Amino acid sequence: MALLSEGELYKLVNDVSKKYFHKPFMDKVVYNNRLRTTGGRYLPQKKLIELNPKYMLEMDENEYIGIIKHELCHYHLHIEGKGYQHRDPEFKALLQKTNSPRYCNPLPSNRNTYKHTYKCKNCGQIYRRKRRVDISKYRCGKCKGELYVL
């Protein structure tokens, strides 16, 4: 899916809002290139939805619609004065009602970015890490055996 203009993005979010929530989306939606580990976020102070453009480029349309539905759950509950945070029962119920995802899947470009691999001497458990681990301080989580670098 190609990136949409600001007007097209607003139209998409408004259409999703009308289809799944039967309410219009009245505020602003923008792309935020600085989002790294999430597909989007809702800022209640500004009534603003920020979406990660990388998800639109790398994932399929259903995944992106799911992210929009998730953020709209936050938005509509906040507008109505109900619990809009992840821990609130109203939020969890609306996620289920609209078949929205609780979390988004990781980006394909962020997968398998492990630089360090460790293995347990006893049980053979393999650990992949982005950051280096001091093997003199850490042990295997399964059997407490020593780790070594692969």
CATH number for the domain spanning 102: value is 3.30.2010.10
What whole-number distance in Å separates Cα of residue 52 and Cα of residue 35? 6
Render pLDDT for 64-107 as a digit per residue (tens, 0 to 9): 999 999 999 999 999 999 999 999 999 999 999 999 999 888 88
CB 110 within 8 A of CB 55: no
Q: Which residues have a Cβ under 8 Å from the Cβ of 36 and sit 6 or more positions away?
A: 110
CB 135 within 8 A of CB 149: yes
Count structural domains, the chain.
2
Answer yes or no: do 36 and 86 share one domain. Answer: yes
User: Residue 97: which domain range?
Assistant: 6-110
Residue 86 located in a structural domain: yes
Pick the catalytic residue: 58, 71, 90, 146? 71
Answer yes or no: do 129 and 104 share one domain. Answer: no
Is residue 101 helix, strand or coil? coil
Is residue 71 part of the annotated active site? The answer reads yes
**What pLDDT was estimated at residue 2?**
81
Render pLDDT for 51-75 as a digit per residue (tens, 0 to 9): 999 999 998 899 999 999 999 999 9
**What pLDDT was estimated at residue 107?**
87
Neighbouring C-beta atoms of residue 116, cutoff 10 Å: 13
Q: Measured between alpha carbons, how far apart are the two ends of the chain, in Å?
A: 39
Answer yes or no: do 58 and 15 share one domain. Answer: yes
Residue 85 located in a structural domain: yes
